Amino acid sequence: MHTMPAGLRAFKLSDPLPLCGRWKDHMPRDRDANVYARYIKARKFWRSKIEYKFKRDELQAILDEVQWAANKGDWGAIALLSHFYFDGLGHLDTNKVLDKDGEKHVALSRSAIAAGQAWGYYNLGVAHEYGYGGAAMDETISWAYFLRAAEMGSPDAQMALAEAYGQARRFEDERTMLLCAFHQGHGAAAHALGLAAEVRHQFGEAIRYYQEGVKLGYGKSATSLMLVFNPQYWGENDKNEEAELRKLQIYPDPERSGQYREIGEILSINPDLRLGQLDRVLPLPPAELPEWQGLDAALTPEPLGSPTY
């Protein structure tokens, strides 16, 4: 039995639903534009191809830039550096530049907690769940961190609580927590809402959530829509489901299916992409399908003005 950290309380399924927080509410108001520019350039390069295709000097340059931006206090860079310590960077003998280091991952997560940021609480919950980085394995403490992280707006923690409520058959509360994460732009939550709607045979709602998931960079949502329009899928599908899809004016469409396949392949490499123009480039039926302009035409334009979190 370990001591509950100060400021935390145990998560109990019998308790009322926690607050639906927003992580951005706990981030600094100002962000250094020059530091951010170097960090985001390195991050975009890191997301530009599968890791095994990088050379060692390329990954070293990414690590150096992220480390520099983290040292300058950019919290996006600090979070990414924490991820690098969690997962390592370069998994081949020919390109490895950083080994996994649980203690440094936990230390950076604790620095985020000290600054009052949701992602640090979530990371500590995972650390206590598995007992790494010096954090004692303790399920009660782990879920206390998840609860606090969810209240502060961590979408990952809100997803964790949603799963717990679903397993307890508190389905409305599960949906509420998924919506908390979705409304913060979490693609995995959009996909989970789509899956839940599909189980209820609410296919129109499911397809709309999958489309939102694609906009938010979630590759599995693109795969789901690829299958919906794939003629082979229709041949193997439940006839009642096919009838419901036809009512929505959704039919086998190899062209749409191929476009979603292309998008899904790109998002599997770069989930940071946001496709805010997707409804114009690849609209759902009954809208007619315009000439395919490629994924770049669907991207959300870069925001103007000073960078924010």
pLDDT on residue 70: 98
- Cα 188 to chain centroid distance, Å, stands at 6
Q: Which of 206, 214, 251, 259 is nearest to 233 (CA)?
A: 251
The Cα–Cα gap between 154 and 122 comes to 7
Q: pTM (2 decimals)?
A: 0.96
Q: Cβ(258)–Cβ(233) under 8 Å?
A: no
pLDDT on residue 1: 66
**Structure tokens that stand for 67 in this block:** 């480390």
- Burial degree of 299 (CB within 10 A; 0-12, 13-18, 19+): middle
Domain borders along the chain are: 31-100, 185-296
For the chain, give the number of residues.
Answer: 309
pLDDT on residue 186: 98
- Give me the tens of pLDDT residue by residue for the chain, a chain 309 residues long: 689 999 999 999 999 999 999 999 999 999 999 999 999 999 999 999 999 999 999 999 999 999 999 999 999 999 999 999 999 999 999 999 999 999 999 999 999 999 999 999 999 999 999 999 999 999 999 999 999 999 999 999 999 999 999 999 999 999 999 999 999 999 999 999 999 999 999 999 999 999 999 999 999 999 999 999 999 988 777 888 889 999 999 999 999 999 999 999 999 999 999 999 999 999 999 999 999 999 999 999 999 899 999
pLDDT on residue 235: 76
Name residue, tokens 């949701």: 118
Q: Cβ(272)–Cβ(47) under 8 Å?
A: yes
Q: Cβ(257)–Cβ(229) under 8 Å?
A: yes
Beta-carbon contacts of 288 under 8 Å, excluding residues fewer than 6 positions away, are none
Give the H/E segment covering residue 182: helix 171-182
Q: Cβ(85)–Cβ(99) under 8 Å?
A: no
Phi, psi of 234 (to 5 degrees): -65, -35
The Cα–Cα gap between 115 and 28 comes to 9
The Cα–Cα gap between 246 and 188 comes to 27
Q: Which of 79, 84, 85 is nearest to 118 (CA)?
A: 79
Phi, psi of 89 (to 5 degrees): -140, 115
Bridge partners, residue 89, by sequence:
98
Query: DSSP string spanning 14-53?
Result: TSPPPP---GGGGS-S---HHHHHHHHHHHHHHTTS-GGG
